[in-house]
Amino acid sequence: MIAEFTIIPIGSGESLSPFVAECLKIVKASGLRYELTATCTIIEGEYDEVMRVIGECHKKVRSMSRRVVTSIRIDDREGESNAIERKVRSVEEKAA
């Protein structure tokens, strides 16, 4: 499955990079495939692994901020692997 998530600390100012950096450390340590974008992070793996990582990120940001809003969007398809790269490549091939 692929999960796209965004964690927004409320009332912590304009720059979110310190929060994103802490989450990125957690995501990297998980060993899951991931892609960091300008507005979200996408991770790929089994449901329990993905949700554990997102939960750890949420808790980390919450420890840094009094209020946090976490949004998750899941694309779960049976038998799919390497989906992040495959989906991007498919679009790029069609756009060429």
Looking up residue 79, the CATH number of its domain turns out to be 3.30.70.930
For residues 58-72, give the mean pLDDT.
Answer: 97
Residues with Cβ within 8 Å of 31's Cβ and at least 6 positions away in sequence, in order, are: none
Q: Is 87 exposed, middle or buried (CB count within 10 Å of its CB: 0-12, 13-18, 19+)?
A: middle
What's the domain count of the chain? 1
Domain range spanning residue 28?
A: 2-95
Q: Enter the pTM of the model.
A: 0.86
Q: What is the DSSP letter of 74?
A: E
Q: Is the pLDDT of residue 84 over 80?
A: no
57 neighbors 1 (Cβ within 8 angstroms): no
> Can you give the pLDDT at residue 87?
76
- Three-state DSSP state, 83: helix
In the block, residue with structure tokens 């507005």: 39
Q: Which two tokens stand for residue 38?
A: 């300008």
Per-residue pLDDT reduced to its tens digit, 14-28: 889 999 999 999 999
